[in-house]
Structure 1
Amino acid sequence: MKKSKFLLILTLLAVFAAGCSTTSKSGAGEEAAGEGQDQKLEITIARAFDVNGLDPGFLTENAQVVDNIFDTLVKRDAEEKLVPGLATSWSQIDDTTWQFKLREGVTFTNGEAFNADAVKYSLDRVLDPANNAPTASYVSTIQEVNVVDEYTVNVVTKKPDPLVPTRFNRYPTEIVPPKYAEEVGQEQFAQKPIGTGPYQFVSWDKGSNVVLEANPNYWGGEPDVKKVTFRSIPEASTRVSALLNGEVDLITAVSPEDREKIESSSTARLSTVERAGNTVYVGFKTDVKPFDDPKVRQALNYAIDVKSIVDKVLQGAAVQTNSLIGPKDFGYAGEPEGYSYDPEKAKQLLAEAGYPNGFSATLDTVSWYIKNTDVAQVIAEQLKAVGVNIKVNNVESSVYRTLVPAGKQSDMYVLGWSSTNTLDADAAIYAILRSGESYSTYANKDVDAKLDEARSVTDEAKRKQLYQEIQDEVLKDAPRIFLYQENQYYGVSDRLKWDGRVDGSIPVSTISAGNE
């Protein structure tokens, strides 16, 4: 064969091979991951709501987005065990002092150095009462953070606190760059954040999406996903359609009626994590009539058929519970006996409290929770049966984020809470039961004392006992209508390898390409 003809055949074969190579498209229409090193995995994650801000020290929502931009000193691995993050080690050097040794050679994505000064600055801004950080309660046991040397910090607590390593695993302790944060100010920092995490901020189209790109200099190694877009799609059915149509790759908050659509799909699967969601309840402002009377609060608990709500409205997407603490959390002591469905008992208690003909109230709710409007309407119907007339007020999510921590919500309100990634009773209940905390509408001196004591007790058996006593007292005092803990449901494209976590986080750096 002549050389020119041979070269022509080789060229044609190369062109044909290139033209026939298989590539798939992500939800944003980008090139998916393949076997070639130069191909990029770009994904889109659809959530029910947009972020309200991107400053980890001042969040009023979950940290699914910011967790990918910032790092904590301590992290959790796939088994939820505490492992080194920006700290390589930690130890308790006396009753009230924990020492963290920091990772050297790490920089923020703007080139600013990570060091002990950055750790101190990040904590001080959250602890400063003048800044009114909404999640300060998670770290309020800390008295001060002291710089020992460039890569060593001492965290000094007001009393002994065995949970310090755990506290440094969640977003109020994510580390921010002092110089940049001071230059731009808190408001601007929340719009254009800088961190040391596996992803760096690109853009935020408010109400629509947040775009992040992989940090090529990440100390933990560059992740497989090179670009991620967090889209806001409020309507549950629209999120499912977007997943099944290939417009997005992962969706959160799959509604009960949409689970089967995903399970029967040939392009996606359902990832289920039982009791990994919020513990949802109806809160009362217990310093306001008629909710200042325990008999009224108890009556409303007897008036609600929670089992019917879980079975019929939520279609089994949650677990009825009177527990304040989830089964994955330290301090969980099983399911306590609570309030049975007993409308006649409810009427009797209302009469004893001086409300034989009931009363009227407004119930605030928000779209953060599974079928929130349907649940609120059923609660209103059941309360009407005992003479309590309820107006359901659906509040826009960004407004609700401001109203609730400011105490400006209605006297009855729906709220969900969990331990997030600390997996401890302290995070599950302190912020919503301790008087004076931003999210608490309850005051009980005995409960306050036990909550405070449980934070400083190092003996685990004693801590468990305290949480049992707290739960028993709160159940009797009924500062809320006890409802259920949600399960977490995610829809995941078959092109991805990832499953939901107990802590509810979505660490994009753990996502890789699946087999299509």
Structure 2
Amino acid sequence: EVRKAINMAINKDRIVQLINGRAVVANQPLPPSMPGYTMDYKGYSYNPEEAKKMLADAGLPDGFDTELYVMNTDPNPRIAQAIQQDLAAIGVKASIQSIAQANVIEAGGAGTAPMIWSGGMAWIADFPDPSNFFGPILGCSGAVDGGWNWSKFCDAAIDAEATAADSMIDPAAPERMKMWSDVYMKVMEQAPWVPVFNEQRYTMKSARMGGADNLYVDPVSIPVNYDYVYVKE
């Protein structure tokens, strides 16, 4: 109930405004373009009054004190301050620990940070499959000292369902995608994360440049394959 209340306390639309609208509000761990994304899931709506009630029902009518770790490069401290203000509105007093990226990663791996704004920090998906998001950052295998599962969320039953989904031969089978959708919905029922936004990136290229458009997608993280890029006459 406390984790759900935290989800309902965060004004995600305001945070998207802080990064000039270059994102869409998130309500689950998978981004909308990822197979297994649950299209009709509404998530936890912004509702600070209901969040306060949930805290009171959980035995915390006055809220509680905590710490929010954040990487000390813009825009992350500003986002952390917005989260801090939202939490204060429901009685949760979060002290911001704005430190170097390496120190945040160390605290996350060690499990010594009560809350972390993880924005853009170190872990990225290696391949476009829902299994890639679960194992390292939500599965029990990642909830170890030094692991990337910073929430230390570990549910053996959900882990077993994820293993069953990942064991299917056809990676694009509809029943496999349904199984992964169920996995992430069960994760969100326990609310170990507050999914805030999915970043939108923009790539511009000259009309003189040839080659398929998808060759130019996100050259920041994935280098352009210059063997297939050329200048038109």
Q: CA deviation at 1:329?
A: 2.2
**Corresponding residue number in structure 1 for 2:14:** 308
**Corresponding residue number in structure 1 for 2:37:** 332
Change (3 A) 1:337 1:476: same
Instruction: Report SS of the residue matched to 2:140.
Output: coil
1:506 to 208, 211, 223: 223
Q: Are positions 1:299 and 2:5 aligned together?
A: yes
Residues 364, 409 of structure 1: 8 Å contact kept: no
Q: 1: distance between equivalents of 2:45 and 2:30?
A: 19
Pairwise mapping of residues 404-423 of structure 1 onto structure 2 (< 5 A)? 404=108, 406-416=109-119, 420-423=125-128
Change (3 A) 1:510 1:305: farther
Q: 1: distance between equivalents of 2:23 and 2:92?
A: 26
Q: 1: distance between equivalents of 2:72 and 2:133?
A: 21
Residues 419, 427 of structure 1: 8 Å contact kept: no
**Corresponding residue number in structure 2 for 1:484:** 197
Change (3 A) 1:514 1:396: farther
2:167 to 432, 456, 475: 456
Change (3 A) 1:367 1:422: farther
Q: 1: distance between equivalents of 2:9 and 2:85?
A: 10
Q: 1: distance between equivalents of 2:72 and 2:230?
A: 31
Q: 2: distance between equivalents of 1:416 and 1:473?
A: 23
Which structure's CA Rg is the greater one? Answer: 1
Q: CA deviation at 1:380?
A: 0.3
Change (3 A) 1:502 1:345: farther
Deviations, residues 125-156 of structure 1 (Å, cap 9, x unaligned): xxxxxxxxxxxxxxxxxxxxxxxxxxxxxxxx
Tell me how large the CA RMSD over aligned residues is: 2.9
Q: CA deviation at 1:412?
A: 0.4
2:79 to 352, 375, 378: 375
Amino acid of the structure 2 residue aligned with 1:499: Y
Q: 1: distance between equivalents of 2:15 and 2:157?
A: 33
**Corresponding residue number in structure 2 for 1:384:** 88
Residues 419, 425 of structure 1: 8 Å contact kept: no
Residues 423, 503 of structure 1: 8 Å contact kept: no
2:148 to 411, 423, 439: 439
What percent identity do the matched residue pairs reach? 26
Q: CA deviation at 1:449?
A: 1.1
Q: 2: distance between equivalents of 1:396 and 1:491?
A: 31
Change (3 A) 1:496 1:314: same
Q: Are positions 1:468 and 2:181 aligned together?
A: yes
Q: CA deviation at 1:430?
A: 2.1
Change (3 A) 1:376 1:511: farther
Q: CA deviation at 1:305?
A: 1.3
Q: CA deviation at 1:308?
A: 2.3
Q: 1: distance between equivalents of 2:219 and 2:189?
A: 29
Residues 420, 503 of structure 1: 8 Å contact kept: no
* Structure with the largest fraction of strand: 1
Q: CA deviation at 1:513?
A: 7.2
Q: Are positions 1:366 and 2:71 aligned together?
A: yes
Amino acid of the structure 1 residue aligned with 2:194: I
**Corresponding residue number in structure 2 for 1:428:** 133
Change (3 A) 1:450 1:491: same
Q: 1: distance between equivalents of 2:148 and 2:110?
A: 7
How many residue pairs are counted as aligned between the two chains?
218
Amino acid of the structure 2 residue aligned with 1:506: P
Pairwise mapping of residues 92-131 of structure 1 onto structure 2 (< 5 A)? none
Change (3 A) 1:393 1:314: same
Amino acid of the structure 1 residue aligned with 2:216: D
Q: CA deviation at 1:303?
A: 0.9
Instruction: Report SS of the residue matched to 2:59.
Output: coil
Instruction: Report SS of the residue matched to 1:482.
Output: coil
Structure 2: any 5+ residue segments left out of the alignment? Answer: none
Moved more, 496-505 or 379-388: 496-505
Q: CA deviation at 1:492?
A: 7.0
Deviations, residues 199-232 of structure 1 (Å, cap 9, x unaligned): xxxxxxxxxxxxxxxxxxxxxxxxxxxxxxxxxx
Residues 303, 382 of structure 1: 8 Å contact kept: yes
Change (3 A) 1:449 1:384: same
Q: 1: distance between equivalents of 2:114 and 2:227?
A: 42
Q: 2: distance between equivalents of 1:329 and 1:359?
A: 36
Q: 2: distance between equivalents of 1:399 and 1:509?
A: 36
1:399 to 103, 109, 115: 103
Structure 1: any 5+ residue segments left out of the alignment? Answer: 1-294
Residues 325, 429 of structure 1: 8 Å contact kept: no
Change (3 A) 1:408 1:472: closer
Q: CA deviation at 1:424?
A: 0.6
With the length of structure 1 as denominator, give the TM-score of the two structures.
Answer: 0.39
